[in-house]
Amino acid sequence: MSPFVSPSSETKVFGIFGDPIHHSLSPQMHHAAFQALNLPHVYLPFHIRPNHLKEAVHAIRVLNIQGLNVTIPHKEKIMPYLDEIDSVAQKIGAVNTIKNEGGRLIGFNTDGLGFVASLLEAGIDPAKRAILLIGAGGAAKGVAMALLAAGSREIHIYARRQIAAEDLANRLRKCATQNTITARAYTPGAEISLQTEKPLLLVNTTPLGMKKEDILPFPISKINAEWVVADLIYRPYETPLLLAAKERGAITVPGLGMLLHQGTLAFEIWTGLKAPTKIMRQALLQAFSKDKPSA
Ligand code: NAP
């Protein structure tokens, strides 16, 4: 598949801001979608260093860039430079998608909704489970907020810094006063004792599992066949945590689904068209084929 359309005055530019940016698979995914729908659009990776973020946002307007994704480390810092933040992104406190509406820049957050979409696609109803969230960083905020919106009534946050866990818990409590939301300091791998009547959905939102030398973020001896274990990490396709959980009979949900669905939702915000999900998934799997030869 050719990565570029032939540029013309009709060509619309989309892209992603990040630092670093070389690892991003969003260009492949969105190009495949644009080509599938015959749209004269291009999607470019922009390496934006933190000290250039303000000028980069100005350039969106000047260059009439139609839409952007935003990734590490800009998701929070970009917010003051935008003209409007939608209510979901406001509650999360981070933006991963920008739409340019005639020079007016509107920020959205599709990360959490993308995660919930990946659960539903795997046949998991988060409303029927108690959530055990490991980590309380940027992605965890979006995921937790979307789980609340999807009906999860019990969310337990375990993060290495108590203050980060508390901060996220307080944000959630403001949105759902009746729910059970707890926050604890947690050293990855340490035992926990959690009493809950509902079956568990464990979500790893830490980067533990990206590197070969990483320890598991959670002790696998706790996991049984009634659990669902999801990992936000998408590289490797299946983390050591997911492989171990699968061996113990749990249902596992890799981070690829979240990556895909945060992208399909962004595509729909920008174009108003239904995203070609199958084609976007294929593009991702193709990009992943080095990690997962059978994909
Ligand atoms: P982040 O804002 O840096 O948050 C990372 C969280 O993990 C923080 O709570 C951090 O704790 C904790 N953490 C980091 N290293 C740790 C360690 N060694 N032990 C224990 N806790 C540790 O990052 P993020 O943006 O949320 O991203 C988190 C992960 O999600 C990354 O692997 C990223 O690739 C993945 N992600 C996937 C998707 C997708 O579409 N699938 C989307 C977004 C993110 P501190 O606050 O104390 O540092």
Average of pLDDT values for 101-125? 97
Average of pLDDT values for 278-285? 97
Whether residues 105 and 116 fall in one domain:
no
Q: Which tokens go with 78?
A: 């970009």
- Active-site residue 75, yes or no? yes
| CATH number of the structural domain spanning residue 118 | 3.40.50.720
Exactly one of 75, 91, 99, 141 is catalytic; name it.
75
Token look-up 């940016």 returns: 21
| CATH number of the structural domain spanning residue 275 | 3.40.50.10860
State the residue range of the domain holding 118: 112-254
Average pLDDT of the residues of the chain: 94
Which of ligand 1's atoms lies nearest the C-alpha of 259?
40
211-254: pLDDT as tens digits:
999 999 999 998 999 999 999 999 999 999 999 999 999 999 99
Where is 180: in which H helix or E strand?
Answer: strand 180-185
CB 237 within 8 A of CB 288: yes
154-170: pLDDT as tens digits:
999 999 999 999 999 99
CA dist 100 and 83 (Å) reads 10
Whether residues 145 and 243 fall in one domain:
yes
Whether residues 247 and 135 fall in one domain:
yes
CB 105 within 8 A of CB 83: yes
Q: How many domains does the chain have?
A: 2
> Does residue 279 sit within a domain?
yes
What's the gap in Å between 218 CA and the centre of ligand 1?
14
For the cut 90, the answer to whether the pLDDT of residue 134 exceeds it is yes
Q: Residue length, the chain?
A: 295
Give 21's pLDDT tier (boundaries 50, 70, 90).
Answer: very high
Give 293's pLDDT tier (boundaries 50, 70, 90).
Answer: very low
Whether residues 239 and 272 fall in one domain:
no
- DSSP 8-state code for residue 250: -
Provide, rounded to the nearest whole percent, the portion of the chain with pLDDT above 90: 87
